Amino acid sequence: MSFSYRHLTSFVTVARFGTITRAAEVLNVSQPALTQTIRALEDLVEIPLFDRNAKGVSLTRAGAEFIPIARRLISEMDDALGDLRGFAQIRRGRVAVAGLPSLTCRFLPSVVARFSRSYPNLHTIIYDGLTSSVEEKVLRGECDFGLTCPLGEHGKLYKEHVGDDDLELICHKQHPLATVERVTWRMICDYKFIGLSHQSSTRTFVDRAFASVGRVVDPSYEVGHITTVGGIVAEGLGVTVVPRMTRVLINQPNIIFRRIEEPVVGRQIYLIRQPDRSLSPAAQLLWDMIREESVTTVV
């Protein structure tokens, strides 16, 4: 058995008033109960903390040495309890979120901004990365939850659908497809194609779309980041397909965006978290705010 908050506060209060009677009144306990608590504490530390006399009690040398220690421990416990209450009441704390760059560049910051205005003492950390990186950060507990486009059924994660994002063609404004009103996946196959790396969830969706029309496209260029794709397309070196929400990342005046039909293909956006781990109150609040706002409304 170790001493408790009750032991400490009882000891400090008795030392302050020098009498069990007055200390019991302040603590709102009976005199026998307070006496028993003090004796239990003395048994724990194995040394008398008070000398008893007819007028009351006085600290022994050991008791006088223990007073500053007890006060410090009480202060630390009070601070810890205050932090815990603030955490539970969403007055303080930290939320870490991982997401795909296309989602962390505009949509997620817009929600976090509203979240921060409502709860200015909460600290939000945003990590961006590819799908595998987002999932790993959530699985390892480095992030409270993630916002991503899972490539398959990940049995270790709970996921909740929060939006959709269509894939679009991007090409140079002087490219032949720039003037075509209805672009199809078969048309795209006739031109040099710029592919994202296989680590990108977009690459998986694009390859599936080509396969659905019986085609396999061998990219003339393969890159890792959307911004690099935009630069290559802006130089007229080929065409590519990207999610509509990546428009904000591709700031190139020479680029044209075109809707793709036959078929229209999109990616599904999910919130993910560990299934057997409860979110903190602050993280749950941000999760709910993201869930309530349509992802496709902020593009």
Which pLDDT tens digit goes with each residue over 192-238? Answer: 999 888 888 888 889 988 998 898 888 888 888 888 888 899 999 99
| pTM of the shown model | 0.65
Q: Delimit the domains of the chain by residue range.
A: 5-88, 93-161+269-297, 165-267
Same topology between domain 5-88 and domain 93-161+269-297: no
Fold that domain 165-267 belongs to in CATH: D-Maltodextrin-Binding Protein; domain 2 (3.40.190)
Question: What CATH architecture does domain 93-161+269-297 belong to?
Answer: 3-Layer(aba) Sandwich (3.40)
Helix (H) or strand (E) holding 209: helix 201-212
293 or 84, higher pLDDT: 293
pLDDT tens across 14-44, in order? 888 888 888 888 888 998 898 898 888 888 8
CATH annotation of 5-88: 1.10.10.10
CB within 8 Å of 143: residues ≥ 6 apart: 96, 97, 98, 125, 127, 134, 137
1: pLDDT strictly greater than 60: no
pLDDT 10s digits, 139-166: 999 999 999 988 765 568 899 999 888 9
- Burial environment of residue 46 by CB neighbours within 10 A (0 to 12, 13 to 18, 19 or more): exposed
- Residue 211 is classified by DSSP as H
